[in-house]
């Protein structure tokens, strides 16, 4: 194989690797909460509460812990703006996502 051709392949591989690393470490992607994300249902008020918003939610005693998928299937509404914001899509880099740093791990 010609030396110039080898250098072209090395240069191309270096560029692809550099772009791939930039995407992996710096480019944020939108992630939505998975169906298995923890949610609290307030059966008296027929609302759902995100765990980070529980202390300000003024919930009743008739509570149940469930998943986001089951909460969406119910006719319950969001308890507060905090819960709505907690469940919106978040931007995270692929590096942080694969390291297990999900914004929805409560």
Question: Which uninterrupted H or E stretch holds 57?
Answer: none
The answer on 19 and 40 residing in a single domain is no
Q: Residue 21 is part of which domain span?
A: 1-28+91-106
Of residues 93, 73, 91, 94, the one with CA closest to residue 31: 91
Of residues 24, 26, 60, 20, the one with CA closest to residue 40: 60
The answer on 50 and 68 residing in a single domain is yes
The answer on 82 and 42 residing in a single domain is yes
Give pLDDT tens digits along the chain (106 positions): 688 899 999 999 999 999 999 999 999 999 999 999 999 999 999 999 999 999 999 999 999 999 999 999 999 999 999 999 999 999 999 999 899 888 888 7
The answer on 24 and 38 residing in a single domain is no
The answer on 39 and 76 residing in a single domain is yes
The answer on 59 and 39 residing in a single domain is yes
The answer on 76 and 43 residing in a single domain is yes
Helices and strands counted in the chain (H then E):
4, 6
Give me the number of domains the chain comprises: 2
């Amino acid at each position: 194989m010609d030396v110039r051709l080898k250098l072209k392949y090395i240069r191309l591989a270096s560029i692809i690797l550099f772009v791939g690393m930039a995407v992996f470490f710096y480019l944020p992607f939108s992630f939505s909460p998975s169906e298995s994300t923890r949610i609290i249902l307030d059966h008296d008020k027929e609302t759902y509460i995100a765990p980070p918003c529980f202390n300000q939610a003024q919930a009743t005693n008739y509570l149940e812990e469930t998943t986001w998928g089951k909460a969406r299937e119910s006719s319950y509404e969001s308890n507060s703006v905090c819960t709505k914001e907690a469940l919106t899509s978040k931007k995270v880099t692929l590096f942080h996502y694969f390291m297990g740093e999900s914004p929805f791990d409560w």
